[in-house]
Structure 1
């Protein structure tokens, strides 16, 4: 008989099926976590995570048998999902897709019960059809080169942050829970994805030109050598980025965690510094402190970048 754990979430009572199902087996790099532990984690971080999810189409990374079993990525919302889970229908080539949207803690718990380990979010909101193609986030993805270490990621983040400061664009850092860091810039919803990606590419090119031995914008791996790739490809319509506080499908259940610029100097910092055991503490520290609520236009930054490049 399948075991069920009943949890009360706000006004809703939800069933967690097979709560003792091990999703993250114990290993040399981490302890064991069950589905019940995943549900408890997402309930704990909901106050910090939901502001980064509301209104955004999601892609769900599901692992029904845990991280050692098969996975699949889910965009369409199944018909059997309860009607109180928000949905949004967005255009795609040749038709539309009905994505789930996570607006409340009950939805987080329901999706965790569906063995959704990782939430990947759009960089734009779908609350207005005329603005779906206008992102309010710009993301630089910094992963170490093959064989590289996290020190190269730290260096790239510092250099990129300094350049963005010169361009008067506030930015936030986030460990990805996987290999590297994301550097996130809040935007006003004025520019389309093509314009945002073009600007991000210009910033990356400027930085790579200034530090050619350490950084590159070469798309082909064989042309990068041991240089860190400044990846701006997520800045496109219907592309996603891992959400803040999302759990990654790695041993030990590491978490994508927002960090402060001061924490970049912490000797303990790496991409998997926080796990579901302690990420809520990082959330309570509020390292972004309202940063994402104040988007910037790219117009002034473009002019400053042109002036800098001569």
Structure 2
């Protein structure tokens, strides 16, 4: 299936402009000049990807990156619904974030179409579910390369990070960021609080930077990155978030953050390799889900692991 980003779409016919029972207004609006993709194309992509993305959104606060006029216009994060009515949106109890309006959940194809209707392009998620918001269920390492690094260096960095996690006894799952780098996601049992997960992920990042200083840095800032990969572990903090698997990115071409099997990495050519026009074909052609064991993998951060990292 191709959600073509180049073909003309018939617009103005109400039946054609409805996606998952949501009427897409201004369906012909081009939201990405590089590909010609429209608002309707975006909504149709999210409808197609719904069975794959929804398991990662269920019962989990979601933060919306909105670009109502397209990726070249104003963009902003929305963590709370406010006064806007969003089709299909579920609201969490105010106790999750008592000083603000309720946090939001996107848990159906109808709601995915609803957020596309309001100009949401990216979906970012909290690393904990609402029922145990104080206990994250994953740990994320965002490998953010310096601009001069070739793709081969990023691939090497991902393998080196995986090797350390393997030595610690932690299984990691890989996805493209849809931007410039790669994400390694470590599923966790919900036994550790945010501070414990942040401290552990910082120790992993510092270990890599200390043992392979020519290739990694654990210090934020472009001035520290020259020719290196910054290991962003700060996504493991309580109010941080990570782009969801299968989310579109608000970048030229509308690339998608794409889960991978580790043995696919040899054949990946960039972090933006798949986009809304090609990702549906990838999904249709997969013999197996590259993250099929993700939700059955729950790991603890043990004392022996901490000792290995010098904590």
Please, what TM-score do these two structures have when normalized by structure 1? 0.89
Q: Does 1:16 align with 2:24?
A: yes
Three-state SS of the structure 2 residue aligned to 1:98 is coil
CA distance 1:210–1:82, shift in 2 (3 Å): closer
SS of residue paired to 2:54: helix
1:83-94 → structure 2 map (5 Å cutoff): 84-88=88-92, 89-92=94-97
Output the CA distance in 2 between the equivalents of 1:149 and 1:107: 38
- Whether 2:106 is the aligned partner of 1:98: answer no
Q: Which runs of 5+ in 2 are unaligned?
A: 1-10
2:300 maps to 297
Distance 1:289 1:181 in 2: 19
Q: 8 Å contact 1:43–1:108 — kept in the other structure?
A: yes
* Shift in Å, 1:216: 1.5
- Alpha-carbon deviation of 1:219? 2.7
What TM-score comes out, normalization by structure 2 length?
0.89
Q: Report the equivalent of 1:271.
A: 271
SS at match of 1:61: strand
Higher mean displacement: 236-245 or 273-282: 273-282
Provide the C-alpha distance between the structure 2 equivalents of 1:274 and 1:8, rounded to a whole number of angstroms.
Answer: 22
285-294 or 67-76: bigger deviation: 285-294
Compute the displacement of 1:163 (Å). Answer: 1.1
Shift of residue 78, structure 1, vs aligned partner: 3.2
Between stretches 44-53 and 96-105, larger displacement belongs to 96-105
SS at match of 2:234: coil
* Contact 1:134–1:193 (Cα < 8 Å) also in 2: yes
C-alpha displacement at 1:205, in angstroms? 1.6
Shift in alpha-carbon separation, 1:199–1:283, aligned structure 2, 3 A: farther
Deviation at 1:292, TM superposition (A): 3.1
- 2:241, 2:91 → 1: CA distance? 17
Please give the per-residue CA displacement for 1:204-255, whole angstroms capped at 9, x wherever unaligned: 1222222111112123432343221111011011211000111111111111
Q: Over aligned residues, Cα RMSD in angstroms?
A: 2.0
Decide which structure has greater strand share. 1
Q: Determine the C-alpha separation between the residues in 1 that align with 2:48 and 2:171.
A: 28
Q: Which residue does the alignment assign to 2:8?
A: none
| Residues 83 and 275 (structure 1), Cα distance of their counterparts in 2 relative to 1, 3 Å cut | closer
Note if contact 1:217-1:229 (Cα within 8 Å) is conserved in structure 2: yes
